[in-house]
């Protein structure tokens, strides 16, 4: 007959010595498997007397439970160790570069333009566009710019080598020449011909000048005009809107001053100066030693502009202003040369 105590001792020793999972699995099969020693012994108990069977069965089952838990415990410890050993061979160099997704960048002028549009949107403004090839009528005549004004000159404006277009204005047939718009203000009358007040809109877009490019002059740049028309749209409102917008653009309260100016399409006309951000108002080369930089020209919409849009100036009032996006962008990001904006150079664009 099997000596249960001896078997237990032997199994215990073997489990203790087993160093890997394969050996442990073997032991498990040898003792506890379907044809294992202990299993066979238990099966053979059916030939014993009932009293004997009970006694032997109980101790054999106890030993079986003990061996089972011993093996399980050992398998767990050995398994953990084996995984740890294997993983230690799979070490990677975490200083090697990560696999990056290509990262795209928006143009700094776009980023600023979107930010400013968002600021205006929060104030109830909508964004409106217009053609970049413009009729002389919308770019100059409708804005009360005199026929012989120097801005209409071949030296300042880019004209197209195209025939003028016949249009009807104020019951009159006129021929209007084609040009690259010199200001997004050209959208004002286009918009007012089709929309009734009250409204508050901004008009962002490209404008063109016949300039010799240098660090601060370009033939193509971005402007954003705004116009608000409504029964109470006043200069005091414009002052509030301008201050609010500048504060949000530059992220802090900026000192401003409003002073008289002159533009053909506004009356009264004003210029909003901002305290020079470079010298803090002490005077430097950026602000021409005045401590102030011109940033926002504007004023109350000139009655002639309402007339040009077919509106009775006696019934309407409003204010209009203009933001030079490129200039603000240069100030905000300390960009020294306006020509970088059209350089298409990703070494520049990828910085934003």
Q: Minimum distance between the CB of residue 16 and other proteins, rounded to whole angstroms?
A: 46
Peptide bond into 81 cis (omega under 30): no
Choosing from 212, 253, 285, 334, the residue that interacts with other proteins (CB under 8 A) is 212
Choosing from 8, 27, 116, 180, the residue that interacts with other proteins (CB under 8 A) is 180
Q: Based on CB atoms, which residue is closest to other proteins, 7 or 258?
A: 258
Cβ-contact 299, 267 below 8 angstroms: yes
Choosing from 2, 165, 215, 286, the residue that interacts with other proteins (CB under 8 A) is 165
Q: Based on CB atoms, which residue is closest to other proteins, 44 or 206?
A: 206
What DSSP character marks residue 32?
I
Cα–Cα dist 243/152, whole Å:
32
Which residues lie closer than 8 Å to 326 by C-beta, 6 or more apart? 109, 218, 221, 222, 338, 341
Q: Does 132 bind other proteins (CB under 8 A)?
A: yes
Q: Based on CB atoms, which residue is closest to other proteins, 4 or 244?
A: 244
Cα–Cα dist 39/31, whole Å:
7
The window from 29-37, 46-54, 74-82, 230-238 that contacts other proteins (CB under 8 A) reads 230-238
The window from 34-42, 74-82, 246-254, 296-304 that contacts other proteins (CB under 8 A) reads 296-304
Tokens of 323: 């933001």
Cα–Cα dist 260/294, whole Å:
12
Cβ-contact 256, 136 below 8 angstroms: no
Choosing from 91, 99, 148, 252, the residue that interacts with other proteins (CB under 8 A) is 148
Choosing from 68, 130, 193, 250, the residue that interacts with other proteins (CB under 8 A) is 130
Q: Does 289 bind other proteins (CB under 8 A)?
A: yes
Cα–Cα dist 327/216, whole Å:
9
Contacts to other proteins from residues 69-128, by CB under 8 A = 101-107, 109-110, 114, 117, 123-128
What backbone torsions phi and psi does residue 225 show, to the nearest 5 degrees? -95, 160
Q: Does 349 bind other proteins (CB under 8 A)?
A: yes
Contacts to other proteins from residues 251-270, by CB under 8 A = 257-262, 267-270
Tokens of 191: 């918009």
């Amino acid at each position: 007959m099997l000596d249960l105590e001896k078997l237990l001792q032997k199994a215990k020793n073997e489990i203790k010595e087993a160093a890997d999972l394969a050996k442990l699995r073997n032991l498990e099969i040898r003792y506890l498997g379907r044809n294992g020693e202990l299993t066979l012994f238990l099966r053979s108990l059916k030939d014993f007397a009932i009293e004997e069977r009970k006694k032997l069965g109980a101790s054999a089952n106890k030993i079986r439970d003990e061996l089972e838990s011993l093996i399980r415990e050992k398998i767990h410890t050995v398994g953990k160790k084996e995984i740890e050993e294997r993983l230690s061979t799979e070490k990677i160099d975490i200083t090697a570069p990560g696999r990056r997704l290509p990262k795209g960048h928006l143009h700094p002028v776009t980023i600023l333009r979107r930010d400013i549009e968002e600021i205006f949107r929060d104030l109830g403004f909508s964004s409106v566009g217009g053609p970049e090839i413009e009729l002389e009528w919308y770019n100059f005549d409708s804005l009360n710019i005199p026929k012989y004004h120097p801005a209409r000159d071949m030296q300042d404006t880019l004209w197209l080598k195209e025939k003028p277009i016949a249009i009807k204005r104020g019951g009159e047939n006129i021929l209007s020449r084609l040009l690259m718009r010199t200001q997004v203000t050209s959208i004002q009358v286009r918009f007012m011909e089709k929309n009734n007040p009250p409204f508050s809109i901004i008009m962002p877009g490209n404008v063109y000048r016949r300039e010799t490019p240098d660090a601060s002059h370009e033939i193509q740049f971005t402007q954003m005009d705004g116009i608000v028309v409504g029964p109470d749209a006043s200069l005091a409102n414009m002052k509030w809107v301008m201050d609010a917008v500048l504060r949000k653009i530059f992220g802090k309260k900026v000192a401003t001053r409003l002073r008289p100016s002159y533009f053909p399409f506004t009356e009264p006309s004003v210029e909003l100066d901002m305290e020079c951000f470079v010298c803090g108002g002490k005077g430097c080369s950026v602000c021409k030693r005045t401590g102030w930089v011109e940033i926002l020209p504007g004023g109350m919409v000139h009655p002639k502009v309402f007339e040009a849009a077919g509106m009775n100036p006696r019934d309407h009032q409003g204010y209009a202003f203009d933001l030079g996006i490129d200039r603000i962008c240069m100030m905000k990001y300390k960009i020294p040369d306006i020509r970088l904006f059209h350089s298409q150079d990703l070494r520049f664009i990828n910085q934003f």
